[in-house]
Structures are given as C-alpha cells and as structure tokens.
A and B are shown apart, each in its own frame.
Chain A
Amino acid sequence: MRPILLQGHERSLTQLRFNSEGDLLFSCSKDHIINVWFSHNGERLGTYEGHNGTVWTIDTDSQSRFLVSGSADNELRLWNVSDGKCLYVWEFPTAVKRVAFSEDDERVVCITEQRMGHQCVIRVFKLNRDGDGTAQSLEPEHMFSPIGSKATVCAFTYTPNLIITGHESGKIALFDVATGTEVLNNERAHMDVVTDLQLSTDRSYFVTSSKDKTARIHDTKTLRVLKTFTTETPLNSAALAPNKPYVLVGGGQEAMQVTTTSLRQGKFETRFWHKVFEEEVGRVKGHFGPINTIAVHPAGTSYASGGEDGFVRVHHFEESYFRAKPYGDLQLED
C-alpha cells in the first residue's frame, strides 16, 4: 500500500505514539501543536492546542483516556484524549524533554532539561483518575536528580517504582523512584547521547538508539546489551515491531552537518534489522530529512515515521511482509 503522508505539522516532528489499540496515532512537533490521526486512513481527528513552545514528548494511557505532553514552554499538560480539553498544567523551571505512563496508568514520569543553573530533574506524578481528571495534585509524588550525566529518555519497567533512563553520556540506568537511588547502571551501553528508548510489549527488554550510530537491545532486569545494530549515521529513533522479529531504526546526518545533496538520500531511510541475527533485512525510503521518531502499531500491522522535514509517513505493511520468511521457518519467541 502506498504510504499515507500526514501533512499536519509545519515544523519537524519530535515524537509519535500509537494508542494501545493502535487505531489512533498521536504526533507532536516543534510547531507547538499535538495532532491525533486515525491510523488506518490518515484522517485527522483533532488537535490539542495550548502549548507555547516545541512539544518535545507525548504519551497516552492504555485506555486512551488521558494524554500527557511535555514542552519547551516548561509545562507538562494533561489532556482529555476524546475532546482535546486541557485538564491540568504543571509548570517547571525548565523544558520537559520526556514523559511516560506507567504500566498501570497510575503514574507519569517526566524529565526536565538541565538548563540555566537548574539540574535535570526526574519527577513522578500520581494521577487522580477519578472524576473528569482536573483534580490533580500539583506536587510530584517523587522527585530526584540523577547525579552525573543528564537523563534524556525514560520509561517505567514492569516492576512498579522502577524506571529505566538513558543518559547524555550513553549511560543506561535503573532508578528506584521512591528513593531516587540508582539501582543498576551500564555506563558503556552507548558511546554518545541516547536518543530514544522503546519497550517490548511485556517490558522485559527494550531498544535504544544513540548518536553513536548504533541501536541496541538491552535486558530490563540486568541492563545487559543483548543485541547491537550498527549503522553509518547517527540514530534518532529505534522501535520494536511486535509479532515480527524486526527492529526499525531511523536517523540521519543532522541538518547542519549535511553537506551533500539528493544522492545521499540513503541516509534518511527507515532500516529494518532482524533483532536476533543482527542483520539488516530492508530499508524504506521517503523522507528528505533525518528521521526523528518511529512508532510501530501495537499489532505490528503498520508503522509511522516522523522526520525533520515535517512529515509523518504512515506505512501499512503489505501481505508479503507477513508472509515473507527471509530466514526460513523459525520458531522465535517475541
């Protein structure tokens, strides 16, 4: 099927998210707007307007009831998914770079930027899910600052109160949010900034991408690197394809470093790697700027990529994708 081009943003994309059923696709961008789309046909369902700066990050809960977003206007907002109303606003001294829901939808973690003398802070809020959602507590349940390199990405693990963080130095760490202590870390997980972190369906392993041109799969429990995918460009995003043993990675030379022209479009491809054999199996072209974010449909039937070029491309996998067995009949656990 031809990819669906979603032209709803005027500036580069920052993050894409499917809801847990996969019928909705959320996108946020540097143009201050959050959009929601029907994933099957690319029709725009609506927007969430109110942020006054680049929206860096979004996440929805598993019931598609709440949406949280973090922005460069130093605000964390809670939205009602169905009608686009802003339910609550938290304000911080610096920009919000990453948000994520916990597995049970009860909590939200957010990372704020290290800037203007303020430290990078990780806060965990307990959401009040009763009523219309406007009655939230202003104060975070837990907050702490990681020592050393600042955190850039984070997510909850399957153990409550335990979060994984990726850091600017390339470190991956596990934090206990209640105490703010680093439970475990892998200092040499990457050699450069960790740009994205996405979990497997059961949260037992996760994939990270980094500017060091590699994407890696790690064990959530031990933080051991299980697989490494080496490319030749700095990577901005990596995602796991459910039901298929693939990892999707995307990136490209940063705009300010690109000195070459159309010939080098190869850099802006989404690459498919076999997650167990660490071999590249395919590429999808299309963007004409670096890919900033990739999200895969939770059923593994389609994926979306958002680029520096301001476009979101939704690709529905064709029949041949599901039939193809490039490595023969393998019994592979997801």
Chain B
Amino acid sequence: MASFNGTSHNPIDDELDFSDIEAKYRVDFDDGFDSVIVVDGVPVIDRSKLDKLLAKISKEFSRRGAVIKPDNIFVPWDDNAGKTKGFIFVDFGNPDAAAFAAGAMNGHPFDAKHTFHINRFTDIERYASIDETYVEPTVEEYRPKEHLRAWLADSQGRDQYVTYRGDDVEIHWHGKPSQCEVAYAKKNWTELYASWSPLGTYFATLFRQGVRLWGGPSWEPQHRFAHPLVKLIDFSPCENYLVTWSHDPISVPANLPQGPEFFSPEDEGNNIAVWDIKSGQLLRTFPTTTDENEDPAMKKQMQWPALKWSSDDKFVARVTPGQHISVYELPTMGLHDKKSLKIEGVVDFEWCPHGEKDKEDAEKGAKPEKTEKGAKKRENMLAYWTPEVANQPARVTLISFPSRTVLRQKNLFNVTECKLHWQNQGDFLCVKVDRHTKTKKSIFCNLEIFRVREKDYPVEVVELKDTVTDFSWEPKGERFAIVSSNDPNLGNPGPGITIKTDIGFYQLDRAKNDFKLLRTLTSRTSNTIRWSPRGRHVVLATVGSSTKSELEFWDLDFSTEERREGQNVKEEWGSGIQQLGSADHYGVTDVEWDPSGRYLATSASAWRHTLENGYAIWDFRGQELEKHILDRFKQFIWRPRPRSLLTKDQQRQIRKNLREYSRAFDEEDAAEESNVSAELIAHRKRLLDEWNAWRARCKRDIAEEKRSRGQKLNGEHHEEEKEEIEEWIDEVIEQIEEVVE
C-alpha cells in the first residue's frame, strides 16, 4: 500500500516527536482496487444461465441506484464442476460508487435462497493477510510517573513563571535574586501561546495538531488532545476537564483512527470539545452558539470561556443567549435532568465560586458524623440576568443547583448592560448595572450587592453618577475597588487620548451592614485594578495607553499593626489606606501578581505593540527587582499554586512565630549576599584577565608587523614630537606720549 511518508522539514518536528500524530493523519493513496466489490451469495449456475443471471444482477443493482453493466462483472469459474463458484467481482470504476453499492446492496435478498453479502475487495485482501497465530500482548512495564506538583516542594519555596519570547519558551524559578534561574527552556514549545492549568499542575501548549499538557520536574509530555487548529483552551477549576475551541469546524477524515480519544463522524461541524484530562478521552463536542437573527456586521466577539464550570467540577453550563442555559453533569456530559433551564431573554450567567469554607465543609461532609451546625453543604448556585423585554423589567436571579429553586430575584429598570461579579469566596455577588437616563443619553451605574451568606439574601444598592469601567473584589475580603469615569472621551478611543478616571474603594461596614466608601482617588489615568491574591495590597495600573503607563501600589491596612481576623479595630474609616509607591513600565500590557502576593509582574507584549517589549518584576511596595527588555517578547504567566494544605490553626501558629522564622531568613540572606558579590568579582576578574591577555597579544602582533615593514612604532617617536607652544599676546590698550619737561 502506497503511503505518504511525512517527513517535513519544519524545525518543530525536529524538536518534538510527532511521528504518532503523523501516522494518524497519514494520507492513504488509492491502490486501484477500491472500486471493486465482491458479491457473495450469488446462485451457483452453469454456463447456459450465465447471461441471464448477469442481466438480472445488473438490474437489481441498478434498481438501487448502483448502475453497472454486465461487462464489468467478472465471474470466477469452477472448471471441474463446470459451474460458477457462487461469488462475483464487480468493478464500479471509482471507489465512491463501489462504497455506495456496497452499502446499498449488502444483505439484499436476491431470491428466496440467496442473499448478497458484499465486501470491498481491498477489505478481503486485508483480512486474508492477518496473521493467524495469537500474539500475547506485551504488558508495558510500570514506569513510575514524576510527581506533578514537585515544584511546590522546592526547598527555597520559590515560585515559577513562564516566558514566551520569539520561539523560545522558558520556565523560570523566581525567588531571591541569587535564586532566580531558568528551570527549563525549549524552542518552539508552542505555536500559539502557553497556559497553566488553574492549580498549576499542568503546562499547556498549543500546536496545529492539538493541545499538549506537560508536567513534572523534567517537563515530560503528560497528555495530548487532538483537536486540529485549536485556538482557545479552558481548564475546569479542579483540573479534571479541558475545553478546547477551534475556529474551523471539526472534520473527520476517512482514515482517522477511532477510539475514545478521537473525534467521530458525529462530531463533525462542531467547534468546542470537552475532554477528560486524566484519561485523555473526548467527552462531548458542541457547535459554537450563534444567534441566527443577529446582524453579521454587529457580530459580537465570541464569549470565552463558552462553557462555564461550577467550582467543584460537577456541572458545566452554557448559555444560548435569549433562550436557555443548558447544564451538563460530569463526567457523563449528559444534560442534567434531560432539560435545559428555559429562561426567556437570558444574556449571561455566572456560577458561584466555592470559598475555602465551602471546600472544608465539603471535606467534612465526607464524614457525616462530624457535621456541625452551619456546616450544611451548600448547593451550587448560579446567577443570571435577563434584559428588559416587552414591559417586563430586567431581572437578576439567583438559583441553586441541582434543585433549581429560585433563591432571590431582583427587578431592575432602565438597564443597558449587567455584569456579574462574584467575590472569590462566594460571599458576595455584585451586579454592576449600567443604567441609562430616560433620554438614553447618559449612562450611570448601580452596584447591586447580594450578601449571599446571609438569610434571605439581602441586596444593597450603591448608586454612582459616573460610568464604572472596572470592578474588582478583594480576594477573601470585604472590600472592592472600582474605576469610574466621567470623561467625555470615554467610549471613543483614539490615539493619544487618555481617559481620566477616579478610583473608589468600598468596604462592608459591619455595624450597619452595608457597603461604604472608604476613599476616592481622583483624576487618575488608571484603568486596571489588580488585587493581591491575599488581599490587602492593590495595584492600580494604566494599561494599553501609548502615553501613560503608571503603576500605583496601595496598601489598605497600612496603619494596622497586626491584622487579626474577626477583630474590629477601632479606627477612623478609611485611614489605613496608604500609597506605598509608584512606578512606571512603559507600554505595559499585562499586570499579574504572583500567587504569594509578594511580587507583581508587568509585561509589554509584542502581541499588542512593538515598543520596548519585555517584562519587569516588582515587589509589593513598587520597588523594581528586575527588568528585561526583550525584543519579540510575548507572554508572561506565573504558575498558579493550589490551595494551602495547612489548616487555619497551623497558619495562625506560623503567623504568631513569624519573628523567629524571619530571623533565620535574615541570616540566610546575609550569607548569600556576600556569596553573590564574591562570585561577581571573580567573574569580572576573569573577563579582565582575558581582555588583558588578548590586548598583550594584539600589541605584540602589531609591533611585529610594523617592524617587518620597517616602520617606526608609534609609541617610540610620539614623545619627541610633542612640543609645547606658548603664545604671548601683547595688547596695547593706550599709548600716551607726554613731554616731560
């Protein structure tokens, strides 16, 4: 069988072993016998009836649409018996017609005694050549896998980050200056971009052929998901599932290997695929939802992630705008309760995230005897909103799942747009409602805050006169920050236009149980809020502007000596807010905290512009630790960390004894500092010696060459030529002649 031997000279192929994928997608060429079928079950006859039989067979075939002529039928002849052998070959001239005939006529009852059984000629050939002897399948030897979370056991407690520049992907360790090093580097590791899984276990890279996951200390390939031309990926929160999307609809070539890891013909035409990460199996595929009645010119950007996961990985849901939300159960990926949630006009929804408390409860829930009061397992919740349609007010609804009971509903008026923001512990839900005035000329904003953990889900409204462009909850906190603006240029971006903004901080006032303004920072240009993952610190950045690129580092609990949970420190409202520093990273496009909340990384990606690409790392006070300006720099991502394994008590204990720990660390730092400088001095000494040796060699060479030409050396006659010229300038200012008597 002729086959395409895929040896392409793409450098990527040299780096990575794709031979298995190549074999899978190998193109098979015709070998000429594809157009021939073998018909079994033909009556055994002698020569006299042959013509009649062939005419009858041709007629039967033609009646089913597979037109053949008696000439194209070959009848094998048993010479001894003088009869036919009971099967015939039919040549259709092309494989498609043969395939059609095989499908149409297989099992066709020719007469009472005879039924046709049709096989392709090539198939018979293939099955005939199968080796009859049974070969024991070799049991693959057990190879222990590397620990996928090995990086967490780093003795120095360092974090990792990945950089993608040009074609190079590098994974770095980040710690104290001396501990920063490249952990792993690989050229052409990805063709589009790279991504971490949400808990940092896997590293995903995208290729034309699909997604690959890597992990472990030596970055071995872990899993592979063959989704050709994949563009977007999304992990489920617990890293059990992966969603991939490609702009090109799935097509299944004829000889694609079959199996649970591959697309089957039913998946054809779909764009989204859901995979089980651990087994590598395909669970289900979906088409991209498109509104048929939507104007193609007004086509909105596709929402990504298209499938939203509940935070325990039990459900995944997708919205069909205006019609329904479909919730699927994992791991079967079947529609939950066999029906979608029909919601007229639904625009968007969000799952409630599970807080640390919920997760602890879930763990306790496994041992029911320990269930305490209040530890009742919370159901999944989801919030959605519907716009104003035909005299019906816009509405935000909170429902629990899987019981599908409506927990709270709130009607809203004059709504143009809603955005749902859950606090990451699932304590609060803020619905940012953009409202228009009656004339629809100006837009203002309401924040409807649902206190989800309290009885009856009380809602509080914060009214604002300006447009809110960004909203962000403090992680694990009771504060949020907003960026608002009343700049007339808002909404019509142009070159050189920087929108003036105000930043507001709000906090839950426990006494009154409502959210109160802590402080407003006016006339800024910041448009991005980045809370530290541990709360308290926040960075305000001006991103995507060609003229401004400020970073402001703020501490919201500056004056509090020690922050103790549950204790209300009596102090003036908002007095703890303090700016720690400000900095500037020209052309910054991305701002990201490291998982520990100690460092901030800013990067200027070549995907957005080509001026001063590179990245910088700052500490939480805004001190620059390192800055690299690198051409063609594309991506910077910190490796996320999973939830801490320490219990609350253990954490408290550590906080208490912080002073003792820090003494040990200080000693370590001091020892290291002297180490580093010694190393640097040695390095310089080496460079210096190399240079001096080379210069000495050079000078000897020149002297020799000049001497051989009979020239005098520069140095020899230089001294004598030097002469000093002194100029005396006499200036006669006035000359007076006096006659002395």
Contact = CB atoms under 8 A, between A and B. Distances in A.
A33 B699 CA distance: 39
Interface string A315-334: 00000000000010011111
B3 interface: no
B702 A276 contact: no
A264 B609 CA distance: 15
Contact of A263 (B547, B696, B699, B701): B547
B179 interface: no
B696 A333 contact: yes
A7 interface: no
B691 A276 contact: yes
Nearest to A201: B714
Interface in A243-269: 259-261, 263-264
A260 B699 CA distance: 47
Contact of B695 (A232, A327, A333): A333
Contacts of B547: 260-261, 263
Given A232-B612, A260-B546, A332 B688 contact: yes
B180 interface: no
A159 interface: yes
Contacts of B698: 202, 204-205, 219, 221
Nearest to A263: B547
Contacts of A226: 694
A330 B586 contact: no
Contact of B688 (A261, A330, A334): A330
A200 B706 CA distance: 17
A277 B699 contact: no
A276 B687 contact: yes
A263 B692 contact: no
Contacts of A142: none
B691 A333 contact: yes
Interface residues of B, number: 25
A264 B611 CA distance: 11
Contacts of A158: 702, 705-706
B680 to A, nearest CB: 10
A230 B684 CA distance: 18
B676 interface: no
A245 to B, nearest CB: 9
With most chain A CB atoms within 10 A of its CB, the pick from B586, B698, B705, B714 is B698
B586 A202 contact: no
A44 interface: no
A333 B692 contact: yes
Contacts of A260: 546-547, 611
Contacts of A334: 695
Nearest to B584: A263
A280 B695 CA distance: 22
Interface string A202-217: 1011000000010000
Interface in A224-251: 226, 232
B631 interface: yes
A219 B698 CA distance: 9
B714 A202 contact: yes
A324 to B, nearest CB: 16
A218 to B, nearest CB: 12
Nearest to B610: A257
Contacts of B50: none
B629 interface: yes
A278 to B, nearest CB: 8
Nearest to B696: A333
B614 to A, nearest CB: 8
Contacts of B692: 331-333
Main secondary structure of the interface of A (DSSP, over half): loop
Interface string A293-334: 000000000000000000000000000000000010011111
Contacts of A219: 694, 698
B701 A221 contact: yes
A205 B694 CA distance: 11
Contact of A277 (B586, B684, B694): B684
Contact of B586 (A264, A331, A333): A264
Contacts of B706: 158
A202 B699 contact: yes
Contacts of A160: 709
A153 to B, nearest CB: 22
Contact of A332 (B546, B614, B631, B691): B691
A156 to B, nearest CB: 14
Contacts of B687: 276-277
Given A264-B586, A276-B687, A277-B684, A213 B695 contact: no
Given A213-B631, A232-B612, A259-B546, A327 B684 contact: yes
Interface string A152-171: 00000011100000000000
A206 B546 CA distance: 38
B702 A202 contact: yes
Interface in B694-726: 694-696, 698-699, 701-702, 705-706, 709, 714
A221 B701 CA distance: 10
Contacts of B702: 158, 202, 204
Nearest to B685: A330
Contacts of B701: 204, 221
Nearest to A266: B586
B690 to A, nearest CB: 8
A24 to B, nearest CB: 15
Contacts of A263: 547, 586
Nearest to A253: B611
Contacts of B705: 158-159
Interface string B587-624: 00000000000000000000000011010000000000
A277 B495 CA distance: 41
Contacts of B714: 202
A333 B714 CA distance: 17
Contacts of B694: 219, 226
A235 to B, nearest CB: 14
Interface in B534-554: 546-547
A277 B692 CA distance: 13
B700 to A, nearest CB: 10
B682 to A, nearest CB: 13
A276 B631 contact: no
Contacts of A221: 698, 701
Contacts of A213: 631
A261 B547 CA distance: 7
Contacts of B695: 333-334
Nearest to B683: A277
Nearest to A160: B709
Interface in A109-155: none
A232 B629 contact: yes
Contacts of B696: 333
Interface in B480-496: 495
A49 to B, nearest CB: 29
Contacts of A204: 698-699, 701-702
A205 B702 CA distance: 11
A204 B704 CA distance: 13
A175 B714 CA distance: 24
B716 to A, nearest CB: 13
A212 to B, nearest CB: 9
A129 to B, nearest CB: 17
A106 B12 CA distance: 55
A322 B674 CA distance: 29
A204 B709 CA distance: 17
Contacts of A259: 495, 546, 611
Given A263-B547, A277-B684, A330-B688, 8 more contacts: A158-B705, A204-B698, A204-B702, A232-B612, A232-B614, A259-B546, A331-B688, A333-B692
Interface of B: 495, 546-547, 586, 611-612, 614, 629, 631, 684, 687-688, 691-692, 694-696, 698-699, 701-702, 705-706, 709, 714
14 contacts: A158-B702, A158-B706, A160-B709, A202-B702, A202-B714, A204-B698, A213-B631, A221-B698, A226-B694, A259-B546, A276-B687, A276-B691, A277-B684, A333-B691
Which 4 residue pairs are nearest across A and B when measured between Cβ atoms? A333-B695, A204-B698, A232-B629, A276-B691
